Amino acid sequence: MMAAWKAYLQEKLITEDALQTRIKEIGAQISADYRDQDLLLLCILKGGVLFLTDLMRQITIPHEVDFLAVSSYGRAVRESTGVVRIVKDLDEPIDGRNVLIVEDIIDTGHTLNYITRNLSTRGPASVKICTLLDKAERREIDIPIDYTGFVIPDKFVFGFGLDLDEKFRELPFIGVVNPGMVAE
């Protein structure tokens, strides 16, 4: 039987090898930048989970993790409005901590803009952003990104944490959706 995801795949955009190579580089960079400092990786659920767990294995300095889940009220399916609500807050306070947000993708920037503004009211020592994917040409709000995996074109992608209507997050690569398969 053909795997279900194959019908939705137009093309592989980033292979498993390319992802792992880049995550290793980012892990090394973070390990150097935060050497001898506190480091809290803050993963944005659910999309950031695969990136987080692979990144953790490439960070060679002690660090902690926490999770934040948000939902955005979309104008339409697969569009972000910036009206964001926290549906699962962090377990611990972050005052005085070095927070590094680990996100799957930055698109318009509304979600991350809300999250960074919210976190900065909690008195962290620093808040930086690490995103696997950056759809730079879609940006509506300027977001300073500290670590970027890949800048990608304006195409809807799935796999490696990113979902297609909640499915296919488990795929080890990033694929472009076949536009014929989804109502856009």
Which residues are tagged catalytic?
Answer: 107
* Contact partner at residue 26 from ligand IMP, Mg ion, none, CB < 5 to 8 Å by partner kind: none
Cα dist. 111→8, 44, 59, 97, 114 in Å?
Answer: 26, 10, 26, 21, 5
We find the least distance from the C-beta atom of residue 165 to ligand IMP, in angstroms, to be: 10
Instruction: Choose the binding region for Mg ion from 46-54, 59-67, 89-97, 175-183 (rule: CB under 5 A).
Output: 46-54
Answer whether 93's CB lies under 8 Å from 111's CB. Answer: no
* Contact partner at residue 5 from ligand IMP, Mg ion, none, CB < 5 to 8 Å by partner kind: none
Question: Which member of 9, 23, 30, 105 binds ligand IMP (CB under 6 A)?
Answer: 105
Answer whether 119's CB lies under 8 Å from 99's CB. Answer: yes
> Of 88-117, which residues contact Mg ion (CB under 5 A)?
104
Question: Which member of 27, 109, 159, 175 binds ligand IMP (CB under 6 A)?
Answer: 109
Q: Who contacts 30 (Cβ-Cβ below 8 Å, separation ≥6)?
A: 39, 55, 59, 100, 130, 147
Question: Which member of 157, 159, 160, 174 binds ligand IMP (CB under 6 A)?
Answer: 157
Which residue from 48, 16, 17, 39 is spatially nearest to 115, judged by alpha carbons?
Answer: 48
* Contact partner at residue 54 from ligand IMP, Mg ion, none, CB < 5 to 8 Å by partner kind: none
Residue 80 is a binding residue for ligand IMP (CB under 6 A): yes
Question: Which member of 107, 128, 130, 145 binds ligand IMP (CB under 6 A)?
Answer: 107
Answer whether 108's CB lies under 8 Å from 139's CB. Answer: yes
Answer whether 174's CB lies under 8 Å from 162's CB. Answer: yes
Binding site for ligand IMP (CB under 6 A): 47, 80, 104-112, 156-158, 162
